[in-house]
A and B are shown apart, each in its own frame.
Chain A
Amino acid sequence: MTPLTWAMAVAQALLYAAAAPLLIGWVRKVKARLQNRRGPALVQPYRDLYKLFAKEVRVAHTASPLYRLAPYLIFAAIWLAAASVPLVALGLPTTTIADMIVLVGLLGLARVFLALAGMDVGTAFGGMGASREMLVAALAEPALLMVIFTLAMTAHSTSLSGVIDYQLAADFVPRPSFVFALGGLILLSLAETGRIPVDNPTTHLELTMVHEAMVLEYSGRHLALLEWAAQVKLLLYGALIANLFLPWGIAEGLAPAALVLGLAAILVKLAVLGVALAVAETVLAKMRLFRVPAFLNLALLLGLLGLLSHVILEVGA
């Protein structure tokens, strides 16, 4: 816990905030190319955020203080959650003091405030979006915890750094529980970050939107913060999938060479994940909302099977 490691932790957190729009820009670019469009430039999300920050904030006259406070709380909670996920280097203080359960809690906090803010103004869309978001959340959270317990049982630690350390220290072993947990986590990330097939991030069609319905009333810097928070959340889940299950390349020390290698590794992994996400969003259609519980049940089942296969197959008699 020297000042140097803390400086690195802060730098990593800043990297999360700085790199998040780039990931979404990359996903949009790949998706556009797949649909035979040229697509906007990679830096377009930065320009959008800049534009929104410069704009005037309009607040409905029925809004309570919570409505003004919520964007800051949501961004702070998601950013803090992101800081606890190792991105480039292991063993940073922020990643060791907060474990995976804290991560789930912080994401839950952000979600509660988002739903409250959605209902605050009292429009029909906000309430509808909030109720849908809570439907997804109520089913996704237990599944996420199942996935986390699967990992924690293997690594004997609920800390993300601990799990990654364990993965790096052990030889490569084909673990059925990790395969199931990976499948579950991928389904959950799609649901939690509001991507197709659960939610369409680009639509403003009233019947299908979930996340967009809640932030419909926001404008100016409030909207910018909410969008930025959603982008950080996508990067967070991407880093979670990439580093928990394929941790190779991440910097274990703070030597400059290792850090550069770690940065390159995570960039490659996230680029590949971004392409996979774009392909999935191109070939899949959005599900009806009433099919979403079945989708999340599959994630829960994968988590449960991960736990069971760990107990049955991996722990010796």
Chain B
Amino acid sequence: MTLAELPPLEQWMLLVAAFVLFTSFVLLAQARLVSAIHAFAWQGALIATLTLIVAQAEQSSHLWFSALLTLALKALLIPWMLHRLVRRLQIARDSEALRWPTLAIMAAVALVIFSYWLVLPMVAQELTFTRNIVAISLAVVLIGLLMMVVRQQAVAQVLGFMSIENGLFLAAVSTTGGMPLFVELGVAFDVLVAMVLFGVFFFQIRESIDSLDVDRLNRLTETQPEGQTETRTGETP
């Protein structure tokens, strides 16, 4: 079955899913924090759109509600909270260059191929065509993980974590027509609470190591940072 033979709504579903994957790449490579938060908001809005299309296609009323919930939470509330946090931490203009941006992107492409390979047997079983979106959502999850590995900035890592949740939600919506409403509400609430906790953590990390670069948590001895600053000042002239 090729793309042209699908019902129109499912075609648009695939298009939106492809865009979700693209926003994942943008999140991974975006150096500026504020732009990364915007990319995350776009990802949430795209997933809400996809949920809306699935709701329209399957005529299930509770998906309308969950699309609304996704839009409110992931496209508006969480990005707004992150925005406010970043402004209060005064790192809104920070940009953190990846050490090997091309390598990270290529690793992400490899992850996409890997997740497609994983999903192939599932698709070969009997499943209908839209279940290929599972490959996309798996890739979004893996790229979120990759982002938590390659980024050092705590806020960027939280974005990676949130996009993992986006990927799981995408899988649930596209394969099973959405989770039961209670589960969905629970997950949404969890994400929200996690966001609040992360906010508290940011301030704690910042207070104890005076930076949000998580790599610096690896060296927690008292004397080392001072010794380093001494050698650095010694080298500069």
Contact = CB atoms under 8 A, between A and B. Distances in A.
A312 B132 contact: yes
Contacts, number: 67
Contacts of B201: none
Nearest to B123: A317
A316 B1 contact: yes
A263 B132 CA distance: 41
Contact of A314 (B3, B12, B101, B127): B3
A138 B190 CA distance: 48
Contact of B3 (A175, A179, A294, A305): A175
A112 B101 CA distance: 29
A222 B226 CA distance: 64
B3 A317 contact: no
A317 B132 contact: yes
A297 interface: yes
A179 B2 contact: no
Contact of B15 (A174, A316, A317): A174
Interface in B7-37: 11-12, 14-15, 17-19, 21-22, 25
A199 to B, nearest CB: 22
Given A308-B116, A316-B1, A316-B129, A176 B105 contact: no
Nearest to A176: B18
B21 A297 contact: no
B115 to A, nearest CB: 9
A317 B125 CA distance: 10
Nearest to A304: B109
B173 interface: no
Contacts of B19: 176
Interface string A77-92: 0000000000000000
B231 interface: no
Interface string B93-116: 000000001100100010011001
B4 to A, nearest CB: 5
A309 B1 contact: no
B22 A294 contact: no
B12 to A, nearest CB: 6
Contacts of B2: 314-316
B3 A313 contact: yes
B183 interface: no
A56 interface: no
A316 to B, nearest CB: 4
Interface string B143-172: 000000000000000000000000000000
B103 to A, nearest CB: 11
B230 to A, nearest CB: 32
B11 A174 contact: yes
A311 interface: yes
Contact of B4 (A170, A301, A305): A170
Contacts of A311: 116
Given A312-B116, A314-B2, A179 B15 contact: yes
Contact of B132 (A173, A294, A297, A313): A313
Interface in A130-186: 170-171, 173-177, 179-180
A162 B177 CA distance: 39
B136 interface: yes
A53 to B, nearest CB: 45
Nearest to A305: B22
Given A174-B15, A316-B3, A317-B123, 20 more contacts: A173-B11, A174-B12, A297-B101, A297-B102, A301-B105, A304-B109, A305-B18, A305-B22, A305-B25, A308-B112, A311-B116, A312-B136, A313-B3, A313-B14, A313-B133, A314-B3, A316-B1, A316-B2, A317-B1, A317-B129
23 contacts: A170-B4, A173-B3, A173-B11, A174-B11, A174-B12, A176-B18, A176-B19, A180-B22, A304-B109, A305-B18, A305-B21, A308-B109, A308-B113, A308-B116, A312-B112, A312-B135, A312-B136, A313-B17, A313-B18, A315-B2, A316-B129, A317-B124, A317-B127
Query: Closest 7 interchain pairs by CB?
Result: A176-B18, A316-B1, A317-B123, A314-B3, A309-B18, A174-B15, A313-B14
